[in-house]
């Protein structure tokens, strides 16, 4: 009997940048109406839940992660009616939608901050963290290392410093002020009332500050999140919090608490280790980080991902590994940003379809709920010459017509140039060409998603490395749920490999490859013998 599971434990998530996805009104910016038009595509890919990047009014100093009004829609994206129409269309297709909720900070253009900085006596002064000195909280690291010299910035008008963990234009809210918490609950309620299925909670480790700590993952932060969870469970059961805590597994574990804090956490340290394994042909970094990953409560789930809208972060590796990753994956200095790499999946993997699919297979079969980043399903490229992280946020490539079918507006109006180089340009890489080609990256990813969803063990099953020859270039593991047992085997290198895998007791029946329906015989002593082509993977189910 399969055990019970919640929708988010077996779902496929898809991250969409509204500005980049589809321009519905020809002004050169993607918008809610455009995204709504493309829901059938998303559904067809096999996605269950869409996560949209911040949709709020914002001066866009951090592409929307600097919110100037929590209750509105960025005018480039449409209005609240468009938002309601999107939510309705999402639900009509049986999909779900999670929105970004940026609680740690606002834009410096937010009315609260305008008021706060207007005078030390303002009733909003305590909405933010002010100080006479920039010497407080010295143990807190700087996150945007390339641009920010300090977490404090001087406010000339009111003669004090204000605290910000990200850009100086993103002042941190002061969660020691109960009024701020009350405001944030109102914000959450507003969007939950509009029908969103949950929040991707941005930058949660940094909500509180305490002297003598690194100001991350504080007990006060957990208590706050548990209050938010309780509020959501009571009023909006089934809606989720997916938190962004870019931390080591043992520091992320408390965000699940006893199953009463957040539902999901990204597994940040796993991500770079998948890339290490793919480049070195050695799965051991992945083995080590999974060994270091604590068990989580039954109602919780990790989110796994290969790429997202930020740089491929190397915060969760040691300095030597970071240097190695930069040398291997970011040989050109422009490819580096802060402690990471601003490149997309296909260019990172040499645009080699075998490696791209191998990476997707790891994503679909390692423990956790996969989060795909828009465009990676067709192997889109990047533009490292754009500023900040914009190079991985270029327009979605729908077809080979001008502007990749993304916008009917004039070229000058586009928020960013469409990729148009000979390898990754929209004439070569686009949805229209791939959708009916059974061998395209899109079709193979779609097929993989469908197979993954047909095997519940891949979503919620237990995980165990397979006993094999001890060859680290083979990543082989079992996923099991009740009677369902699946053996997944990946060849990480560019040479043919043979694998001898012993089949544990308790795995009965025939072993059938899920993609090819080929049956693999058990040999003497319950051994299984496989030959894998370069970068090939097999998913074998016992039937
Ligand atoms: C994490 C987001 O993913 C990133 O894009 C943003 O710049 C920071 N949080 C600050 O909100």
Return averaged pLDDT per consecutive 10 residues of the chain, 543 residues in all: 76 98 98 98 98 98 98 98 98 98 98 98 98 98 96 98 98 98 98 98 98 98 98 98 98 98 98 98 98 97 98 98 98 97 98 98 98 98 98 98 98 98 98 98 98 95 88 97 96 96 91 96 90 98 93
From atom 6 of ligand 1, which residue's Cα is the shortest distance away? Answer: 65
Angle at 377 between CA 536 and CA 519, to 5 degrees: 35
DSSP result, 311-330:
-EE-TTS-HHHHHHHHHHH-
List residues with catalytic annotation.
202, 244
Q: Tell me the two tokens of residue 431.
A: 């949805």
Q: Tell me the two tokens of residue 252.
A: 């992320």
What is the value of pTM for the model shown? 0.98
In ligand 1, the atom with minimum distance to the C-alpha of 310 is: 5
pLDDT of residue 469: 67
Question: What is the CA(65)–ligand 1 centre distance, in A?
Answer: 6
Question: What is the CA(505)–ligand 1 centre distance, in A?
Answer: 47
pLDDT of residue 524: 85
Question: Is 310 a pocket residue for ligand 1 (Cβ < 6 Å)?
Answer: yes
pLDDT of residue 4: 75
Q: Where are the beta strands (DSSP E) in 397-513?
A: 462-465, 474-481, 484-491, 497-502, 511-513
Supply φ then ψ for residue 421, to 5 degrees: -95, 170
Question: What is the CA(143)–ligand 1 centre distance, in A?
Answer: 10
pLDDT of residue 3: 46
Supply φ then ψ for residue 304, to 5 degrees: -105, 155
């Amino acid at each position: 009997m399969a055990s019970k599971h919640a929708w988010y434990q077996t779902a496929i998530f898809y991250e969409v940048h509204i500005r980049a996805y589809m321009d519905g009104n020809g002004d050169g910016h993607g918008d809610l109406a455009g995204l709504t038009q493309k829901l059938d595509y998303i559904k067809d890919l096999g996605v269950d839940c869409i996560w949209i990047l911040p949709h709020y009014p914002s001066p866009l100093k951090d592409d929307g992660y600097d919110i100037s009004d929590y209750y509105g829609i960025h005018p480039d994206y449409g209005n609240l009616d468009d938002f309601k129409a999107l939510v309705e269309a999402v639900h009509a297709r049986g999909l779900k939608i999670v929105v970004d909720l940026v609680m740690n900070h606002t834009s410096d253009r937010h009315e609260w901050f305008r008021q706060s900085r207007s005078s030390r006596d303002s009733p909003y002064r305590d909405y933010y963290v002010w100080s006479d000195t920039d010497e407080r909280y010295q143990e807190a690291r700087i996150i945007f290392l390339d641009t920010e010299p300090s977490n404090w910035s001087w406010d000339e008008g009111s003669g004090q410093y204000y605290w910000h963990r990200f850009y100086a234009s993103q002042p941190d809210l002061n969660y020691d002020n109960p009024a701020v918490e009350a405001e944030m609950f109102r914000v959450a309620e507003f969007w939950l009332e509009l029908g969103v299925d949950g929040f991707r909670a941005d930058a949660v480790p940094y909500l509180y500050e305490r002297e003598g700590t690194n100001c991350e993952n504080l007990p006060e932060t957990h208590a706050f999140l548990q209050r938010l969870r309780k509020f959501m469970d009571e009023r909006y059961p089934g809606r989720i919090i997916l938190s962004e805590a870019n931390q080591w597994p043992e520091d992320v574990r408390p965000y699940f608490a006893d199953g009463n804090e957040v539902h999901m956490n990204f597994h940040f340290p796993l991500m770079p280790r998948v890339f290490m394994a793919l480049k070195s042909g050695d799965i051991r970094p992945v083995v080590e980080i999974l060994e270091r990953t604590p068990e989580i409560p039954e109602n919780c789930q990790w989110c796994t991902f290969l790429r997202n809208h930020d740089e491929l972060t190397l915060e969760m590796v040691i300095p030597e590994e970071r240097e190695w990753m930069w040398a291997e994956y970011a040989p050109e200095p422009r490819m580096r940003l802060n402690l990471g790499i601003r490149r997309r999946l296909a260019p990172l993997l040499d645009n080699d379809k075998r490696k791209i699919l191998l990476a997707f297979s790891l994503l679909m079969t390692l423990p956790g709920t996969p989060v795909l980043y828009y465009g990676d399903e067709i192997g889109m490229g990047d533009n490292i010459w754009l500023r900040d992280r914009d190079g991985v946020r270029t327009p979605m490539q729908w077809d080979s017509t001008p502007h990749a079918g993304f916008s009917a507006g004039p070229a000058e109006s586009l928020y960013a140039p469409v990729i148009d180089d000979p390898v990754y340009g929209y004439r070569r890489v686009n949805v229209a060409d791939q959708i009916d080609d059974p061998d395209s990256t899109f079709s193979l990813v779609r097929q993989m998603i469908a197979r993954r969803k047909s095997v519940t063990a891949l979503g919620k099953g237990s995980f165990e490395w397979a006993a094999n020859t001890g060859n680290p270039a083979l990543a082989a593991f079992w996923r099991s749920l009740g009677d369902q047992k699946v053996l997944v085997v990946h060849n990480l290198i560019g040479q043919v490999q043979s694998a001898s895998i012993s089949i544990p007791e308790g795995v009965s029946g025939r072993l059938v490859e899920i993609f090819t329906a080929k049956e693999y015989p058990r040999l003497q002593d319950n051994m299984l013998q496989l030959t894998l082509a370069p970068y090939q993977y097999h998913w074998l189910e016992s039937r």
